[in-house]
Amino acid sequence: MHVSTPSGELNDLFQRLPVALYRSTADGRILAANQATADLLGYSSPEELLASDNAAVLAYADPERRLQWRREVEEKGISRDFEARLRRRDGSIVWVRDTARAVYDADGAVLYYEGVLIDITAEVSASLSSSILSGVLESTTDLVVVFDDHERLRYANGAARSFLGLSRDRVRQRPHFSEVLPGIDPEWARSLLGSRGWSGEVTIQDWHGRATPLWAVITTHLGRDGETYLATIARDLTQVKETQRRLEELITAKDVFVATVSHELRNPLTGIVGLAEELRDGYQEFGEQERHDLITLIAHQAAEMTALVEDLLVAVRSDVGEVAVVPENVDVVAQLADLAAIYSTNATWDLPNEKVAAWVDPQRFRQIVRNLLSNAERHGGANVRVGVSQQNGWVRVVVQDDGDGVPPADVERIFEPYGRASDTPVKQGSVGLGLAVARRLARLMGGDLDYLYEDGWATFRLTVPAVENVSVPSLEA
C-alpha cells in the first residue's frame, strides 16, 4: 500500500532534524537549509542564511577546497565524508564532514548539490592535540612508556626506544613487560596497577647492558576501552649523579683548601715571629754571621708566605678578570738563573749561555716557574731538571721530575683550582692552586702550560711568546 506524505510534513521534518541539511547551487547560493545548518554557520534562522549571497562559497575558509569538493561530487556523483574548514558568520572556524550528491536536469547539467554536514570540530581539535602531544613526547629526552593491564607494551617514545633498543615495529608487536624491562620485578609492577602510582629512583639496564640510574614517575590511567594502563616517565640521572659527585669533590677540596691555607700561612708566620723575637732578645749575643743567617731565614719565610698569598690573589682575581699582567722584553735565562740561586730544590738547571728573550711579565714568569718547582718538590720524584729553548717564535721552559707522573684521566683535573690527581694525597704546603694559577698566568701572557709523561719523566712545558714574535709599538710613534 502506498502512503503519501504531505509536503508540509516533509518540510517540517526537514526543519526539525538535528542534522545540518542543505541544498546549494554551483555558484554558491543556498537554495534550502534547515535550522541545524543555520546554527552551524552562525545564522539565527534558515531565512537569514538563504538571504546571504554566495553563502556556500563564502563559508569555505579555503575556496580551493570547495572546487576540489565540486569536482569529486561531479565525477563520482556522490562525495562521502569530505572534510573541510568552514568559516561561520562571526569569523570563527568549524570543521565539517560533508556527504553530498549532485542533482542533474534532463540535459545532464548540475541543478544543485544537496548534502549533510557533520560538525567534527571537537574531533579535529582532539586529533590535533593528540598530534601535538605525540610530537612533544617524541622530542623529549625523558623516557615515556605505557603498558596495558596484560603487561604488554603499548607505547614507547623515541628516547625510550633508543634507551631500550626497541624499533617502532617491535613496539607495535606489543612485547611483554619482562622482555622490555627484564631487571624490574613484574610482581612489583603488577601491584602498581591497583595503586595511585609511585615515584622514586630505579636502576635499569639499557640495551648495552649498562646499569643506569633513573628517576621514574609511574601512574595508572583508566582508558576509554575500560583497560587500566600503566604510564611511566623516567629521567636519566647519570649526569645529575656525576655533577653531584663533582660538587661533593669540590666541597671537600674547598674544606681541605681552607684548612691547608690556614696551616700554611700560620707556619711561616710562626717562624717569622719566633726568629724575630729570638733576634730581638739576643741581638747582642749573636755574632754578625748569626744575625745575617737569622734575617735570611726571616726573609725566606716571608717570601714563602708572600708567594702563597700571591697565588690566592691570582686565583680570585682571574675569575673576575682583574689579574694585572704587564709583559716586557725579559731574558728568561737570567730569570731562571736567579731562581736557581735562591731556590732550595736540588734541581739540575740546563741553561744556555746566551740570552733568550721572551715577551712576559717578569714577576708572573717567576711565579709560574716557582709553582712548577714547588709541584715537582712536593709531588714528583727525587730528580728535577729545568731547561729552556727557543723555536719558531716561541720560548719554552720545561720542568721535569722522575716521579710516577699523573694518570691520563687526571691530567686536566690537576690544572683546576683545588684539583689534584685522584690518587694523590694532600701534602703539606700544597693548597691545590699552584698549577691552576700557573696555567692561567701563562695564557694571560699569550702562552700556555701543558703536561706530558715521556721516557720516565713527568714534564710541564711552559710556552710563551718570544720577543721576535710580538709587535711592540714604538714609543716615538
CATH number for the domain running over 7-121: 3.30.450.20
- Identify the pLDDT of residue 338: 87
From 352, 386, 382, select the one nearest 372 (Cα to Cα).
386
Please tell me which of 11-15, 430-434, 442-446 the model is most confident about, judged by mean pLDDT.
442-446
Confidence at 1, pLDDT banded by 50, 70, 90 = very low
pLDDT digits (tens, 9 = 90+) for 209-250: 888 999 999 888 888 788 888 889 999 999 999 999 888 887
| Number of other residues whose CB lies within 10 A of the CB of residue 74 | 14
- Identify the pLDDT of residue 191: 79
Confidence at 331, pLDDT banded by 50, 70, 90 = very high
Task: Please state, for a pLDDT cut of 70, what percent of the chain lies above it.
Answer: 87
What is the pTM (predicted TM-score) of this model?
Answer: 0.46
Q: What does the pLDDT average to over 143-154?
A: 91
pLDDT higher for 409 or 263? 409
- CA dist 419 and 22 (Å) reads 81
Confidence at 120, pLDDT banded by 50, 70, 90 = very high
Q: What does the pLDDT average to over 390-401?
A: 94
Say which CATH superfamily domain 244-469 falls into.
Answer: Histidine kinase-like ATPase, C-terminal domain (3.30.565.10)
Give 456: exposed, middle or buried? Use CB within 10 Å, 0-12, 13-18, 19+. Answer: exposed
Q: Which ranges in the chain are annotated with CATH 3.30.565.10?
A: 244-469
**Rg of the chain taking only CA atoms, in angstroms:** 43
- Identify the pLDDT of residue 320: 43
Q: What does the pLDDT average to over 288-302?
A: 84
- Identify the pLDDT of residue 474: 40
In this predicted structure, the answer to whether residue 58 has a pLDDT above a threshold of 50 is yes
pLDDT higher for 164 or 12? 164
In this predicted structure, the answer to whether residue 3 has a pLDDT above a threshold of 60 is no
- Identify the pLDDT of residue 477: 34
Query: Is residue 143 within 8 Å of residue 126, measured between CB atoms?
Result: no
Task: Copy the grid coordinates of residue 296.
Answer: 735570611
CATH 3.30.450.20, applies to 140-236? yes
Helix (H) or strand (E) holding 299, with range, is helix 288-319
In this predicted structure, the answer to whether residue 428 has a pLDDT above a threshold of 50 is no
Confidence at 29, pLDDT banded by 50, 70, 90 = confident
Helices (H), 411-464: 434-444
Q: Which ranges in the chain are annotated with CATH 3.30.450.20?
A: 7-121, 140-236
In this predicted structure, the answer to whether residue 471 has a pLDDT above a threshold of 90 is no
